[in-house]
Structure 1
């Protein structure tokens, strides 16, 4: 894809990144380096044949995707590994023009190494604060439950997230394979999180259709839905999402890599935008998919024909839907207006 000559620089457009998984944010060279330090053998798909060829629309494909993710997570063994991951993620976001990063993590995946759930979350929050100071990128943490585990585990995570609401935790999520845990089973956990003032942001409408999204809205009172792209299968639900102002965290590269859509042109980004649905572009897991956030905006521009005013509105949508402090939101929104006021071609293309 080629960037138009007279285009505003996408890496200068202030934006919020709301759909980025913790392990999946790791740089590939960092994965390889840490694996070597810890004596962990990486399969070819994570080493020499990176990024891996993936497809997760069937159980076997999802298992392979999850296995690769788990291997990647296993290289994070020391507190300094956690700190490095967050610092480098923030550096990458700064290069993309991101003013606010909301990174999602299930502390359960690291608890055995770092003295339990509470100590793990405190380590992550401390690392996030350090990365924020070093880079100037605001960072909020989404505590995310795993829908393949028992709903009681999700309640424990919700209570943990509640303890740190206002102290770095800004949202509560639900991830993993939709086919193995319906959203409605986690209503109690999300009720705990909502009462603590946390944003409700479960995954839905990726591997399953409109029913998945409807349960996120009806049972979990979602403010945002991770992915949500299969909402297009129900026009009435599209209208409802637009009317209620529920933001969909759309990750074009991920959707194609995992086989949700066969080609990039099939991702319903333009259709949903034109229908008035709020959208926050995200990357999901760039460690496994490759492209990072600026590339998602470039896809919107070059594949779906988004004009610069429309790209600016995408950025505004991401900022408004974020858990960033109001003062930072105002600053970033003003930055979007300034970006749009620039003459096209005034800066190197992003």
Structure 2
């Protein structure tokens, strides 16, 4: 069993505030005089039912955390720490998702908010040795015209390197908003060369996935796990090459599946889907990227060769340059060709990692 923190990989599904370390959130809340719900600070992974009441509780907690990010310094700290945490877990490429609307009031508007994130992404990439690119995301809870504004803003900074915008997303409760009404924003983004990376197929089933496919033409689908319920739909995803950003901890925390064993990771991979594992919102769900790979290993029985294939898929699904992709793929080959780690040393490392996650969130 090789050390999963040494496996090169790309991280394609990580939300901005959701990436916060718990220790940093506490410090920000004190600095700004903001109270925090105990459910955010107790170090216990969120568990809610997969209904509107459950989503409301999740969103309330996320908003409480987001309200503590109230300055340029907070935003820069968040990006820097996200990059450092990903680098420690073997991620060579992070494409972090942000809706700048939430932070705009504290830094003078949505344009400064995006530029702060991009500037710190460039600096953090150099500092920590992991490429940090950005996905700008609209929210289903806001008017589709807001999404068009964000798409035009994202297009101004399009590229594939560190500190550039690589994709355009659509997040929040899948049950809200009319998907078709956001299609114009995604056309703006695609014309600029940005990847289409909306959420879909977690809270809602195959019909919603089909709706997102038809309206938004995704290159990657945030989650998409419910596509397994319709073999024909899953087959079309495989054939068209749409990658699925699968976040096992999120699926369990949000009540989509009762247990880790129920997440259809094996079924998706066996069907030929391109699967990129992601941590989604570690602050609330209690686990970071390596632990998603650990779940694949210990819960779903993935061998080291299969875990290497998952890492390869994440790199292929990223918007990294060909040079970066070749470098990461070579690193994956080297990881797999190397010797197994000593069981005792690996167990100690895993214990230390788990203790760290309990401390940082």
Q: TM-score range by the shorter chain?
A: over 0.9
Question: Which deviates more from structure 2 when the two are superposed, residues 216-225 or residues 327-336?
Answer: 216-225
Q: Structure 2 CA distance, aligned partners of 1:188 and 1:126?
A: 28
Contact conserved, 2:46 with 2:286, CA < 8 A, in 1?
no
Residue number in structure 2 paired with 1:3: none
1:229 to 225, 231, 240: 225
Matched, 1:341 2:334: no
How many Å apart are 1:346 and its aligned residue?
6.0
**Normalised by the size of structure 1, how large is the TM-score?**
0.96
Q: Distance in 1 between matches of 2:77 and 2:104?
A: 18
Q: Secondary structure at the match of 2:105?
A: coil
Residues 235-276 of structure 1: per-residue CA shift (max 9 Å, x gap): 100111111111100000110011010111010000000000
Q: After alignment, is 175-184 or 142-151 more displaced?
A: 175-184
Q: Who is 2:93 aligned against?
A: 100
1:25 equivalenced with 2:19 (yes/no)? yes
Report the equivalent of 1:305. Answer: 301
Whether 1:38 aligns to 2:10 is no
Aligned to 1:79: 72
Cross-structure match for 1:136:
129
Structure 1 residue 52: Cα displacement: 5.0
Residue 5 (structure 2) pairs with residue 11 (structure 1): yes
Q: Is the 8 A contact 1:132 1:139 kept in 2?
A: yes
Look up the match of 1:174.
170
Structure 2 unmatched runs, 5+: 351-361
The offset of 1:57, in angstroms, is 1.5
Structure with the largest fraction of helix = 2
Question: Aligned partners of 1:56, 1:157: CA distance in 2, in Å?
Answer: 31
User: Is 1:161–1:193's contact at 8 Å kept on the other side of the alignment?
Assistant: yes
CA shift for structure 1 position 50? 2.8
Secondary structure at the aligned position of 1:256 is classed as: helix
Contact 1:56 1:65 survives alignment (8 Å): no
Do structure 1's residue 249 and structure 2's residue 242 form an aligned pair? no
Whether 1:163 aligns to 2:156 is: yes
Q: Are positions 1:211 and 2:207 aligned together?
A: yes
What residue in structure 2 maps to residue 290 of structure 1? 286
Aligned-residue RMSD, C-alpha: 1.2
For 1:66 and 1:291, the matched residues in 2 are separated by 18
Instruction: Indicate the larger mover: 130-139 or 19-28.
Output: 130-139
Distance 1:120 1:145 in 2: 14
Do the aligned residues in 2 keep the contact of 1:280 with 1:314 (CA within 8 Å)?
yes
- Residue 311 of structure 2 aligns to a residue whose secondary structure is helix
Instruction: Give the equivalent residue in structure 1 for 2:357.
Output: none
- Which of 47, 52, 57 matches 1:54? 47
Structure 1 distance, partners of 2:48, 2:243, is 25
